Structure 1
Amino acid sequence: MENDLEIFEPTEMEKLPANLPPEVEEGNIEYKLKLVNPSPHRIEHLVTQMKWRLEEGQGEAIYEIGVEDNGLLVGLSPMELRASVHTLENMAERLGATLTILRERCVEGDYGEEDRRALEILVRRVPDDQKFIDLRMSVLGNVDAGKSTLLGVLTHGELDNGRGRSRLNLFRHLHEIQSGRTSCISHEIVGFNSSGEVVNYSESRSVEEICENSTKLITLMDLAGHHKYLKTTIFGLTCYSPDFSMLVVSANTGMAGTTKEHLGFALALKVPVFVVVTKIDMCRKFLIEKTVSQLEKILKSPGCKKIPVRVETEDDAITAAQNFDSEKIVPIFRVSSVTGANLDLLFKFLNVIPPLNKERDKLVQGPTEYQVDEVFNVPGVGNVVSGRLHSGSVREADELMLGPCDDGQFQKVTVKTVHRNRLPCRLIQAGQASTVALENVERGNLRKGMVLVSKELVGCSLEFEADIYLLYHDTQICKGFQTTIHIGNVCQTVQVMTIKEKDAVKTNHRAQVVFKFMNRPEYVRVGSRLLFRQGTTKGVGEVIKVYPYIDIPAR
């Protein structure tokens, strides 16, 4: 760590007389003026405090050294700074955490005094129940915006040749390679080690090695950009529940095609978004500026009400990442997958961005609810389902209830094996995506939209009530209107049975509506976000009441 301190030259440091916001009791950010030779009793208190900050940040905490509790940047002398960092190292070592210096500030001295310095340090400790801090990011944007190419560069560490070579690593079907367009959801991973360095794929590095060497892993979900694959894109947003989304915009076309639609879906589902403007190597500066200005205008509009922030320096990237969980700002990056311009800023942002799911610990303690989003058969293994665990935990040999079937019933199944990130594991917990091999179930009894739940959660509904907001309709929605609805992993046609206190719903109006599934009962949870569409009709909402289908007996 001493070597890290010595690499900063005073000429390289930015003079920052501005103060920080006052320290907040909650959260994972801690201010410390100095930590020079604390007593043993003080050390115990500091370690307990660090442990609490790490828990608040789900494994990550930010320490501001040389800063008073009111946010005043005081700074420390080089000797005091080294002693404070040494104390912080000892504290982190006791908790099994690592330190990474994010940035250094220089505070101008008064009356000829030597300039003093303040440090911002990232403390990271992988939670005891995980191998690494795990985040999910969906990638949105119009067709030909460069989404798959950018992901290929981020995950494989090799720049593109200008003709889309890097995207070939992500495509799963022959027609995708031939057309150059994504039609299904593909998953890739990018890892960061304890020093904040990128752990990428290579000829000698496998998925297992990436997971083994990473303390933070981000799963990148490449969603389709073409309008005819809109159902697939919406399914990825609702079913996989991404922690945040990356909206990719081409610098030469701007907010074209489905870009606005994808942005609207993410904001409606309350998924934090940041924007990446690609292909800056093939555009003149005035065209890039025009695209960014167009973006800023849309983000500031009454429909979005966001604060766009241009990321041009490493300091901007760190600040944007730390404030990203406020859901008010939208960072904007300008990158090139061919020249690699500003990709380092994007990596810095992804490394520092905190876990955004604040209720994970509470969900882990709850009953098991696993959402099935894909079903397949593996030779020698049998029937396998993939999906995301919303709450509780799943381990080998667990007995769970699978359903609902077409008649609304659930059947008892046994968990054979569990895989996460293509690796076998004994346990998965809330918020984690995985594949589960099942025993005592036939292939014909499996489908997308099912759930694996504990016995106390067994139940389904044919009708439910939702508080909806109609984004757009040519005229108005009345009783009897049919539409396709997405609720988590459920995608089915529903009919409007009742509109409470109204005869119809018009564009930009709210209402409480009772929907009925047209094909079969489904497992629906109160509080789930929903999205419905039919042609140009689009709306969002939240489930507020579920009407039980029948008293479900276990088989």
Structure 2
Amino acid sequence: MTKVAIIGSCQSGRTALASKLGKKGNISDVTMYDFAKSGTVLIVVDATGYPKSIKPLVTALNLTDIVLLCIPPTGPDTYTGECIVALNTAGCMHGIVVLTKSDLAYQGALDELKKRIRKIATGTVLENWDQIAVSTTTFEGMEELKTMIASTGEKVDYELARLNELPPRVVIDQVFNVTGIGCVVLGVVKQGTIHAKDKIAMMPVDKTVEIRSIQMHDVNVKSAAAGARVGLALKNIQSKDVDRGQVISNNETVTTDFTLNCTLSRFTKRIFVGAILHIFAGLQSAPVRVEKIITNGNVVDYAKEGSECVLTLSGSKNIAYIESDRFILTSLDEKQRFVGYGFCDLGT
């Protein structure tokens, strides 16, 4: 199973590309597409609610393992830049830069665009990503793109297999009630292996649930390993008590306040004590206030762009996380909204 996020600006051609890679499924602020043939399963997530909101972009990146960054012949714009900052902030290592609508550009112009993008990507996670020009009208490059996705998917599968022995953890992105079954959730197994009849906690609400049954691509299975997209019928909880972002796991820490070791983006503004930021932990999000900033061991009034610092943050919403979780910091009022990332200080 290969899970791919398709991102870019409104005019990037991302939605047309998604529609050629799979059959449209669930629609919300992200749109799911799926393809299954001869044992190959491809799930595509289009961040359709972006750029109006950054939440769909963060959601798409968290539900997938490979990213397609779509750029049209007109070249990168402000939102392309924000997507690149988001990819760097989220630490997305696997991806492909897709030059869309190639039928509308001359080869020389595409070659120049590739050089320009390579220059922009220097020093970011995109630095070593492959580039390919495609057209959803003439289908130029489409088969090559599918081959590139499959090749990258093999690398991802190897990495995910190493997570199978960790404690199970499922991140939920959709929930609904099914007559005769009850609460059903859709999500991704981020690590470990889940089994039907497992009893495990729903966090951060701290409620023990039982997995009645597991489906993968509409097929009932007895277990699901890291990387699988699953549908779970749950016992001992109602759908009204489950929200996007909640986590099925027995190893979560839950808190409203955080001390994070942070790396700020070079493309953000200074962060001052008292500032209101928005943090994302997986699909969970919450507003927080900056209470204290430490840089180089000293308490300071602000942290500069591109710097490393320790931020003490206070909030009012419970967030469930584990030690390895990467928190994404954002400022929703800025033109470029991604501030940086951080990990919880183990000393707190």
Question: Equivalent residue for 2:57?
Answer: 233
Are 1:332 and 2:131 matched, yes or no?
A: yes
> Of 90, 115, 129, which aligns to 1:269?
90
Are 1:528 and 2:325 matched, yes or no?
A: yes
Question: Equivalent residue for 1:381?
Answer: 181
Greater Rg over alpha carbons, structure: 1
Letter in 2 for 1:219: I
- What does residue range 390-469 of structure 1 map to in structure 2 within 5 Å? 390-405=190-205, 410-454=206-250, 457=251, 459-469=253-263
Question: Equivalent residue for 1:280?
Answer: 102
Contact kept, 8 Å, 1:370 with 1:451, in 2: the verdict is yes
For 1:357-400, what per-residue CA distance to the aligned partner results, in whole angstroms no more than 9, with x for missing partners?
65534422222222222222122221112212222222222111
> Of 311, 316, 320, which aligns to 1:513?
311
**CA–CA distance in 2 between the matches of 1:486 and 1:368?**
21
Question: Equivalent residue for 2:342?
Answer: 542
Q: How far 1:529 sits from its partner (Å)?
A: 1.4
Letter in 2 for 1:533: T
Give the TM-score, by structure 1 length: 0.57
Give the TM-score, by structure 2 length: 0.88
Change over 3 Å in CA distance of 1:218–1:443 after alignment to 2: closer
Q: How far 1:286 sits from its partner (Å)?
A: 4.2
Which of the pair is proportionally richer in helix? 1
**CA–CA distance in 1 between the matches of 2:239 and 2:49?**
32
Change over 3 Å in CA distance of 1:517–1:357 after alignment to 2: farther
**CA–CA distance in 2 between the matches of 1:359 and 1:403?**
26
Question: Equivalent residue for 1:50?
Answer: none
Q: Does 1 or 2 have the higher relative contact order (CA < 8 Å, sep 6+)?
A: 2
Q: How far 1:495 sits from its partner (Å)?
A: 1.8
Give the secondary-structure state (helix, strand or coil) at the position aligned to 2:156.
coil
> Of 188, 191, 207, which aligns to 2:33?
188
- Report % sequence identity: 19
**CA–CA distance in 1 between the matches of 2:175 and 2:126?**
38
Which of the pair is proportionally richer in strand? 2
Question: Equivalent residue for 1:84?
Answer: none
Letter in 1 for 2:70: V
Contact kept, 8 Å, 1:461 with 1:547, in 2: the verdict is no
Contact kept, 8 Å, 1:148 with 1:170, in 2: the verdict is no
Give ranges in structure 1 of 5+ residues lacking alignment.
1-133, 156-168, 174-182, 191-206, 308-328, 549-555
CA RMSD after TM alignment: 2.4
Letter in 2 for 1:511: C
For 1:202-231, what per-residue CA distance to the aligned partner results, in whole angstroms no more than 9, with x for missing partners?
xxxxx5xx3xx22x4332221227420322
Change over 3 Å in CA distance of 1:172–1:366 after alignment to 2: closer
**CA–CA distance in 1 between the matches of 2:44 and 2:307?**
35
Contact kept, 8 Å, 1:185 with 1:222, in 2: the verdict is yes
**CA–CA distance in 2 between the matches of 1:383 and 1:305?**
39
- What does residue range 95-114 of structure 1 map to in structure 2 within 5 Å? none
**CA–CA distance in 2 between the matches of 1:522 and 1:219?**
27
Change over 3 Å in CA distance of 1:541–1:396 after alignment to 2: same
Q: How far 1:458 sits from its partner (Å)?
A: 5.2
**CA–CA distance in 1 between the matches of 2:150 and 2:60?**
23
